[in-house]
Every structure is written in C-alpha cells, then in structure tokens.
Amino acid sequence: MNKKIITSPSIMCADLLNLETSVKELENIGIDALHIDVIDASFSPSMPLGIDTIKRLRAKTTLDFDVHIMSTNNDWFIEQVLAIGVQQISFHYETSLHADRLVNLIKRNGVRAGLALNPATSLSCLDYLLPQLDQVLLMLINPGFAGDAGEKQVFYSEKKISDLADLIRRRKLATEIQVDGRVSLESIPQLIHAGATNLVLGSTSLYIPGRSLQENKKALDSSIENGKLKMSVSI
Ligand code: DX5
Ligand code: ZN
C-alpha cells in the first residue's frame, strides 16, 4: 500500500509578521494544507493566532485550512472557524464534554472532523467515535508548549501510532493519523513506518532555522521517501 503522506505546515512556526508572504512561499513549494493552531491560553499557556488573523488569511489563499483547536471552550471556537470556511477541524477530547455532538456539528457543515489526543490520553476514548472521524490527531508533545525549545517527543510516540494504525486497519476504516509536535526530519521515517499519514511540520522539519524553506522542503521530501521505503520493505 502506497498511501499519500499529507504535509501540513504549522503556520505558527512561520514569520507571524509576514504571514501573507509566508503562505505564498508555502504555496510555491507545494504543500497540502495549512495547519492552524488555535490556542486560547486557558488550555495551555500560549496564544499564537487570533480568529481575525485566520479570517484575514482565508481571503489570501485557497490552500486547505486544517484547524487544531486547543481550547477549554470548543463550542465557541468551532462556531468561529466554521464561519470562516475551513476544510478540517480537530478539537481536543480532553476538553469536550460532548465530543460526539461536536463531531456531528463539524460534519454537518461539510467539514472534515478530527479528534485530538494529548500524549497521555488513551486510545480507548476512540472506541465508539472512531468510525465518525476523518482523522485522529496524536500530539507527540504537550500541546501549546512548543515554545520550549528543549521539549522532546514523548518516548511512546511510535507505539501509540502503531496501536492506532492497527485499530483503524482492524476496523477497516480510512481514518488519517495526524502527528503533531517535534515531527523532525530524523523521526519522520519511523513515524510513517508506524502508521502516520499526515505530518504537522514545525521547527524540526520545514522551519529548521538557518536554512531556506526550499532546502528544508528538499530534506523533508527525502525523509518522507525514506519512510515510505521503510514501510514497503516491512510489508
Ligand atoms: C503544538 C502545536 C504544533 C506546533 C508544533 O503546540 O500544535 O503545531 O506548532 O511545532 P514543532 O513541530 O516545532 O514542535
Ligand atoms: Zn497543532
């Protein structure tokens, strides 16, 4: 099986003072979607982008918007981003009292729905909801704390991804597995081998400092190819 690996650069890692230019550059190098982190400073202590910025950005590009809501108020943020016009919304299981209702709300609006899980959250929360989800977003670091340059991927990343991939395979579903947090050039082959199908690209891949976006993209493409190769060898 040669599944497409979806590339989703995390826009909070781009030049926030020149967002329009940053997005045009991404369009030019060829990526699949913009990963937009919406953090409310209550879920975790960070607030990179506001709703109005996302709205203004919507008018500047036709790229897919893949929104990752990290909030204790999912209802409000989901309504806001639905009104902007986005292609995919993931929200956190840990802050949703009515996850099933929110997934239905997103899908009713013709938008892909994803459930995001913190590193320590068990996959058992997916037992009943999995068939309704277009993607599961697995956080490989604690969400919202990416500003701490020393933070590393949790050691159980690959195990969690492959457990989820088994679950999806056994239930004959087509759910994407998005991985987010220190998805580095070095770790991408293992993450793809474990079953990741959608990569959120940040400070350790597309935005490695001191190198051009083109250089990073080239290295990224070869890292993804290595991952696919690793997969085809082990099948
Ligand atoms: C985590 C965010 C990520 C973040 C990842 O708080 O959801 O999208 O930007 O950045 P890196 O890849 O640099 O850890
Ligand atoms: Zn994210």
* CA dist., res. 31 & res. 230, Å (int): 22
**Does the pLDDT at position 147 exceed 80?**
no
Which residue owns the Cα nearest ligand 1 atom 5?
181
**What pLDDT is stored for residue 66 in this prediction?**
98
* CA dist., res. 83 & res. 183, Å (int): 30
**What pLDDT is stored for residue 150 in this prediction?**
84
Domain range list for the chain? 6-234
The amino acid that residue 216 corresponds to is N
Q: How confident is the model at residue 163 (pLDDT cuts 50, 70, 90)?
A: very high
8 lines ligand 1 (CB under 6 A): no
Residue 37 annotated in active site: yes
CB 82 within 8 A of CB 107: no
CB 114 within 8 A of CB 198: no
Task: Tell me the pLDDT tens digit for each residue of 16-33.
Answer: 999 999 999 999 999 999
CB 173 within 8 A of CB 208: no
Q: Which residues are registered as beta bridge partners of 89?
A: 67, 113
Which residue in 15, 32, 37, 127 is the catalytic one? 37
* CA dist., res. 231 & res. 235, Å (int): 6
> What ranges in the chain are assigned the alpha helix state H?
19-29, 51-58, 74-84, 99-108, 157-170, 188-194, 213-234
- Does the domain spanning 6-234 belong to CATH 3.20.20.70? yes
Buried b (16+ CB within 10 A) or exposed e, 134-162: bbbbbbbbebbebeeeeeebbeebbebbb
**What pLDDT is stored for residue 231 in this prediction?**
86
The amino acid that residue 29 corresponds to is I
Task: Tell me the pLDDT tens digit for each residue of 44-91.
Answer: 999 999 999 999 999 999 999 999 999 999 999 999 999 999 999 999
Task: Tell me the pLDDT tens digit for each residue of 86-133.
Answer: 999 999 999 999 999 999 999 999 999 999 999 999 999 999 999 999
**What pLDDT is stored for residue 135 in this prediction?**
98
Name every residue whose Cβ is closer than 8 Å to that of residue 195 and which is 6 or more positions away in sequence: 161, 162, 164, 165, 166, 168, 177
11 lines ligand 1 (CB under 6 A): no
Length of the chain: 235
Task: Tell me the pLDDT tens digit for each residue of 180-218.
Answer: 999 999 999 999 999 999 999 999 999 999 999 999 999
**What pLDDT is stored for residue 148 in this prediction?**
80
146 lines ligand 1 (CB under 6 A): yes
CB 205 within 8 A of CB 192: no
Q: How many separate helices (H) and strands (E) can be counted in the chain?
A: 7, 8
> For residue 11, which ligand has an atom nearest its CA?
1
The amino acid that residue 28 corresponds to is N
**What pLDDT is stored for residue 1 in this prediction?**
55
**What pLDDT is stored for residue 235 in this prediction?**
63
pTM of the model: 0.97
Residue 166 annotated in active site: no
